[in-house]
Structure 1
């Protein structure tokens, strides 16, 4: 057997493999069209439902868009590391459904939080351009972020994958960067979620990460695992 001739994708199950390929193709397309002056993230990224930039395809396409090299690298690395174990456990069809449902759930929670923020500023969940609002510069900036900044990335769906790994392979020990001792998957995932919740609630200035999308992916992932009756396994 020619080990050196073996394909990089040889041991990757089909859904994870195709997700990796599609994400990379979308990223390449973003770079190519960006050089032509066309910002694909403004077409395929997900905008707030009341934004004039919102389109019906965005809840799906946003999962394949990424904001830079580091963004896509770490997301695809996480998918490559944890996705195969979950796909082998669930089967390809169910994993496909799980991935996209958690991605949609991520966007749903993010939009819910945005709607609450919009209501807190305007007293309504939608911006009526026929009304003259009297709001502070800080709130005006918040509204611009909500209405004009697209959400991109596979992170929401990947938080669903991480939660699945933390539940199904709870006792597996992981080595986390900058932490010198191994940590069981269940504790690592819980810790990560707690950090995301803190960052989402604290809303540090300049933080453009959609933390509640991450939490939405994790929440919908956990709900699906419970609904499908999936439990811990020791096979890892």
Structure 2
């Protein structure tokens, strides 16, 4: 058995050595044309990314804005692949807390359109998305409502959660890009509460545990 194990280790080591030799051969055979191709590819990629950023900014990304009604919401959904939309009411203090975080995140994550809708001005959409608790954040990817953040339960069940906590929760649904670089620098991970019974879009109801949330 020990001999078999040693033979496997030798085979793996030989395979790794062959791969390294192949990579070294590629570097040895690299000529000026290969470098120019890599440089051209990188330049084209940078140009593509810059154009994408310009398109996002033209479409209203980079700023946190209020949408007036359902018609404007549907127009935005045709232009933006990733949308983070707060459904709010004027008499909800917690909606104002979300406002402050969204103002920061909108500038930081221009890959998503951050916006908000007053539920009293969009009854059809509120009913269609089954919005029952205020605040509710709808996360929309490629025209489909992928996830919801209902109240503050998943954000620590408190009002003083950090912007990084909300950022991490949004990233879980793929609506923004976030690789935990900031949290890795401090050695602390943002707190994300995971309910014992996972929520689904179809299974959402109005029994959210956040006492300060408003039911509609």
Q: TM-score range by the shorter chain?
A: under 0.3
Higher relative contact order (CA 8 A, sep 6+): 1
More strand per residue: 2
Q: TM-score, normalised by structure 1?
A: 0.24
Q: TM-score, normalised by structure 2?
A: 0.26
More helix per residue: 1
